[in-house]
Structure formats: structure tokens, C-alpha cells
A and B are shown apart, each in its own frame.
Chain A
Amino acid sequence: MNIESVMFFDLVITVFILVVALIAVGYYFWRYAKKVNGKVGITGGDAGENADLLSQARGKAIKMIDEANNKALDIISKATLSTDTVSETFKQEMSHISSVQIKEFKKATSDFTKTYFQVLQDLKANNIEAFQNVSKDIEVNTTKEITNFKESMEKLTVLSQDEVKKKIDADYALLTKEMEDYKNQELQKVESGIYELLENVSKLVLGKALSLSEHEELIEKSLKEAKKEGIFK
């Protein structure tokens, strides 16, 4: 609450007190006049004089009341005027202050916005630069990693191809050998089987067909052949 408002309320209270005092004085005079009129009636001798006095007093009182009223009205009007003036001044001050404040606020807002945008621009610029640097680093690192990976993959692929080729060649050679062995074994079995069959057939035919003398003859023939070949030398 500022000073103008305090003064305004002080003024209103003063006016109020004065009005109450005026009413109280009026009421006192009315009571006094009534009392005086009552006493005059009782005495009856100086009635005319008393009536004049009374009317004079009444007139004085009315005059005084009028003056008081006028003064009160004057004070009130002055107070009202003063209040209006104060109010007007207050409004003007308020308006002025408000406009000043608004201007200040606008200026501060503008400055703040400007600063904010500036900071934001700087930050943005810094961030963009940082991001660009980071992006460039990432690009370089990624390119390097990709190159290394590619080289490693190429080496590994070549090695793997060689290994696989060697393995396939070895397996193929082994398989070929195994197949050849298996083929030979199977053929051997077939041959043995055929030979066994022939032998059995021969055994069945010759074994039963050969007589003891034929056996003996064959043995003697064998010994002759052995001698001819020089075994007994």
C-alpha cells in the first residue's frame, strides 16, 4: 500500500469524525433548545424575550449548523477532490510505472531473448562443430575399421580357400586311394571267391578223380622236376 492510499483513508476517517461531531453538536443544541422552551413556558413572564432568544439561538444554531454543514461539505468536496486528484495521480503514476515497467520488461525480455538466441546460436554452432568433428572421427575410424576388416576378411578368405582346397585335395586323394583300395579289395575278394570256387570245383573233381597211383605218380613227377631244377644240389 503506497502513501497516496494512506492519506486517502486518513482523510475519509477525519471527515467521518467531523460529521459525527457535527451531528452530536446538533443533537445537543436541539435538546438544549427543547429544554429551554419548556422552562420558558413554565415561567410565562419573559416569554416573548425568551422566544426571541430562542429564535436567535435557533437561528445561530441553524447558522452554525449550516456553516458546519458547509464546512463539512467543503471538506468533503475538498477531500473528494483531493481523493480524485490522488486517485488520478495514482492512476497516472500507476500507468506511468506500468508503462515504464512494461517497457523495462519488454526491454529485458528482448535482451534476454537476444542473449538466449545468441547463446543458442553459439551452442548450436559449437554443437554442430562438435558433431561434425565427431562425425568425421567416426567416419575415419569406421573407414579404417572397415578397411582392416576387409583386409582381414580377404586374408582369411584366401587362407580359408587355400585350406579348403588343400583339405579337398587331401580328402580327394585319400578318398581316391580308399576307393582304389576298396575296389582292389573287392576285386581281390571276387578273384579269391572265383579262385576258391574253381579250387573247390577242382578239388571235388580232381580229389575224387585222382587215384592213389596217380597221386604217387604226381609226387614222383614233382621230385623229378625238383631234381631237374637243381634243388638237391
Chain B
Amino acid sequence: MKKDVLIYYDLITSLKTTQEVESFVSEIDTLMFEFYNTKGLLIHKALDSISFGTVGKIMQAFLKNNLDIYNKDTFVSFFQTLKILIKKLKVIKLVLAFDPTRITIEKIHNFVKENIGMGYILDIEVYHDVLGGAIVIFNGKYKDFTLKKNLEEIYRLRRSEILPNRT
């Protein structure tokens, strides 16, 4: 089996948020559990235990890279490597003023991929009071680029104009 991480590219890049990763990892765990608990270690039986969408993505990855999905060693090795790679994904937490659609999430993720690099997923939290923009939290670092923050800054700088009698 090829050790090239590119064989996992499509699968990895299809994961854009922490929720998707959790769901995907959960399905892989289920798949592996079913594989090891089926008599004769039947792969097709194990694949039945997860969603069609995920099965489709997995099948595509195997086909694209000429891998035999029914080869038990290849099968096991593939998912073990995939899980290791998934664990290496870096999480960018974004606090947004609205609940983004899937398309918006894709746009943001693509923007991250193009401008920051690969191997990032998004952890999105919605907080309407930020009004617009985003709070970016990464690797313990915090930056507020929201409209709320901008308004506060404007208010702080022009406070004397708003409240002239403040002592």
C-alpha cells in the first residue's frame, strides 16, 4: 500500500468542520468495530454499518488510488493511517455573527486552504452580538475582528465626544 498522504487528500479535504470530523471518525470507528466483529471479517458487511455518503467517499478514495477495498490488510491500514492524519488536523475556531450555510462554510474553508494552507478544519460558534466579522482563536491565540469590537474601539476613542462631562 502506498504511504502517500495524497491518497487521503479528497477524504481529508472533504472534512471542513469539527462536527464533520467527529461524525466521520465515529463512522470509521463503527466500521472497524463491525469489521472485527463480523464472522470471517467481511468488509462489505462492515460497510453496511455506515452511511452511504461516507461509503461513497471511501470507495472513491480506494478506486482513485487503485486500492483493493476487500484486501483486509489494505482496508485496515487505510483507516488506521486516515485516523492518524485526521488527528493531525489543526482547528481554527471562528465566532461568527450568523449561522453559516454549508456553502459559506465551504467558502471559508477554501479561503483558509488557499490563504493559510491545508490541514485546517473549522470549529464554528455563533454569537449574534458580534454583529459581523469573526473572532479567530487558534492554538491558544485569540483575536477579535468583529464589528462589535470595532464599535467598542470607536466608542472608547470618541468617548469624550459622546460623554463630555465624564471625569
Contact = CB atoms under 8 A, between A and B. Distances in A.
Interface of A: 187, 190-191, 194-195, 198-199, 202-203, 206-207, 210, 212, 214-216, 218-227, 229, 231-232
The 10 closest A-B pairs by CB, nearest first: A222-B145, A222-B134, A226-B136, A218-B133, A219-B134, A231-B141, A222-B133, A218-B132, A231-B138, A220-B111
A184 to B, nearest CB: 10
Interface stretch (B2-10, B78-86, B90-98): B90-98
Contact of B143 (A198, A207, A215, A231): A231
Contact of A225 (B98, B143, B163): B143
A191 B112 CA distance: 38
A225 B145 CA distance: 8
Given A219-B96, A232-B138, A226 B107 contact: no
Given A190-B163, A216-B107, A229-B143, A202 B138 contact: no
20 contacts: A187-B166, A199-B131, A203-B128, A207-B128, A214-B132, A215-B104, A218-B133, A218-B145, A218-B147, A220-B111, A222-B133, A223-B134, A223-B136, A224-B115, A226-B145, A227-B115, A231-B136, A231-B139, A231-B143, A232-B117
Contact of A206 (B112, B117, B147, B159): B147
A194 B94 CA distance: 28
Interface in B70-121: 92, 94, 96-98, 101, 104, 107-108, 111-112, 115-117
B1 interface: no
A178 B112 CA distance: 51
Contacts of B128: 203, 207
**Interface bin, chain B:** 35 or more
Contacts of B94: 219, 222
Nearest to B154: A198
Contacts of A190: 163
B155 interface: yes
A221 B94 CA distance: 13
A226 B152 CA distance: 19
